[in-house]
């Protein structure tokens, strides 16, 4: 049984934002928070530091983990916080740690991010190979960003969350992806927006005399398939309000557009047995690079 929310820590704004998000997720799930800091045998920055002091580096790493853990305990006294210092190649170690976690959380700058151990290739490597859900958090993400803006009057006792968004491929709807998305919305007591898109079809491939009539027929069919896929999940999570967003257009662009007000975006990644490299698919890749909200990548067969 996976019994922790695990977060990879480094000394960057992205890493610290990931820890804060992971702490809130652990609280929502009623699970311990495990903070993992990976010390590289030969840190990448030593190439620019001829007088590298290994002992001082290890002391700094241990102090960083202690300080961050103490900060989390002060902000979230109800959750158990565990720290772990590991050594090795960062992506490999975090992938192994993800295998024992309910959720793995990492920080990332998005396009062009080079600062910090979690940025760039490390985060993408973990996302591409971990078989447990991985949530990627940007540096600017704060608690207030998950909730709807409040204006005037008496504030509600519990601030309402922004919606959870899930991107769906109706050709291969996966239970792990839908289960994670519905569960996330239920825990936050918020709506789930199910986004599905299909590409524009050239008029040469259909026999309709009117493009408008063909598009309307196609749209009704796609919307019907989306309702069919969601029907058993609505029954399983009757308290979750489901918003169906079935649109014609570029799949990645439709997902990004429908995620502007999300507190969490859930996308899938097919597990490719024996494949090399970071194969995560174009839609998931676009989501990680262009969506400001935290993005959860759920691996599935």
Predicted pLDDT of residue 58: 81
Show Cβ contacts of residue 225 under 8 Å, excluding neighbours closer than 6 positions.
170
Task: Name which of 161, 222, 159, 158 is nearest 194 in CA terms.
Answer: 222
Predicted pLDDT of residue 40: 80
pLDDT in tens, 62-91: 899 999 999 999 999 999 999 999 999 999
217 or 112: which leads in pLDDT = 217
Which of 84-98, 142-156, 180-194, 233-247 has the lowest average pLDDT? 142-156
Show the CA angle centred on residue 161, arms to residues 80 and 100, nearest 5°: 35
131 to 217, 269, 271, 301: CA distances (angstroms)? 38, 9, 8, 10
Q: Which residue has the tokens 């958090």?
A: 137
Identify the band that residue 220 occupies on the pLDDT scale cut at 50, 70 and 90.
very high
Which of 151-155, 162-166, 231-235, 258-262 has the lowest average pLDDT? 151-155
284 to 127, 243, 256: CA distances (angstroms)? 10, 21, 10
Mean pLDDT of 146-159: 59
Identify the band that residue 151 occupies on the pLDDT scale cut at 50, 70 and 90.
low
120 or 266: which leads in pLDDT = 266
DSSP conformation letters of the chain: ----EEEE--SSHHHHHHHHHHHHHHHHHT--EEEEEEEPSS-GGGGG-TT--HHHHHHHHHHHHHHHHHHHHHH-TTS-EEEEEEES-HHHHHHHHHTT-SEEEEE---TT--SSTTTTHHHHHHHHH-SS-EEEE-TT--GGGGB----SSSPPSSPPBPPEEEE--TTS--HHHHHHHHHHHHHHT--EEEEEEEPPPPGGG---S-HHHHHHHHHHHHHHHHHHHHHHHHHHSTTS-EEEEEEES-HHHHHHHTTTT-SEEEEEEE--TT--S----HHHHHHHHH--S-EEEEEE-
- For the chain, what percent of residues have pLDDT higher than 70? 80
Q: How far apart are CA 16 and CA 264, in angstroms?
A: 18
Average pLDDT for the chain: 85
Show Cβ contacts of residue 116 under 8 Å, excluding neighbours closer than 6 positions.
10, 11, 12, 13, 14, 15, 107, 109
pLDDT above 50 (res 114): no
Which of 101-110, 173-182, 234-243, 265-274 has the lowest average pLDDT? 265-274
Identify the band that residue 156 occupies on the pLDDT scale cut at 50, 70 and 90.
low
pLDDT above 70 (res 122): yes
pLDDT above 50 (res 296): yes
């Amino acid at each position: 049984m996976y019994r922790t929310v695990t977060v990879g820590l480094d000394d960057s704004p992205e890493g610290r934002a990931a820890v804060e998000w992971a702490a809130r997720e652990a609280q929502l799930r009623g699970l311990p928070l495990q903070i993992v800091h990976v010390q590289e045998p030969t840190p990448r920055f030593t190439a620019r530091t001829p007088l590298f002091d290994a002992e001082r580096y290890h002391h700094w790493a241990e102090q960083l983990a202690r300080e961050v853990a103490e900060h989390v305990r002060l902000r979230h006294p109800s959750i158990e916080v565990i720290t772990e210092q590991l050594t090795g190649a960062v992506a490999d170690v975090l992938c192994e740690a993800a295998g024992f976690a309910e959720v793995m959380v990492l920080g990332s700058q998005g396009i062009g991010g080079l600062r910090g151990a979690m940025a760039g290739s490390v985060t993408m490597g973990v996302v591409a190979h971990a078989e447990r859900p991985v949530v990627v958090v940007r540096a600017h993400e704060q608690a207030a960003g998950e909730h709807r803006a409040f204006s005037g009057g008496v504030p509600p006792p519990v601030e309402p969350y922004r919606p959870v968004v899930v991107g769906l491929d109706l050709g291969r709807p996966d239970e792990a992806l839908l289960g994670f998305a519905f569960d996330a919305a239920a825990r936050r007591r918020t709506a789930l927006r199910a986004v599905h898109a299909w590409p524009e079809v050239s008029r040469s491939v259909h026999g309709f005399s009117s493009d408008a009539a063909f598009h309307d027929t196609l749209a009704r069919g796609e919307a019907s398939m989306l309702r069919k896929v969601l029907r058993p999940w609505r029954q399983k999570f009757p308290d979750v309000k489901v918003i169906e967003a079935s649109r014609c257009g570029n799949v990645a662009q439709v997902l990004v557009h429908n995620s502007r007000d999300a507190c969490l975006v859930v996308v899938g990644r097919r597990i490719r047995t024996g494949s090399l490299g970071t194969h995560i698919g174009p839609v998931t890749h676009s989501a990680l690079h262009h969506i400001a909200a935290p993005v959860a990548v759920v691996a599935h067969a």
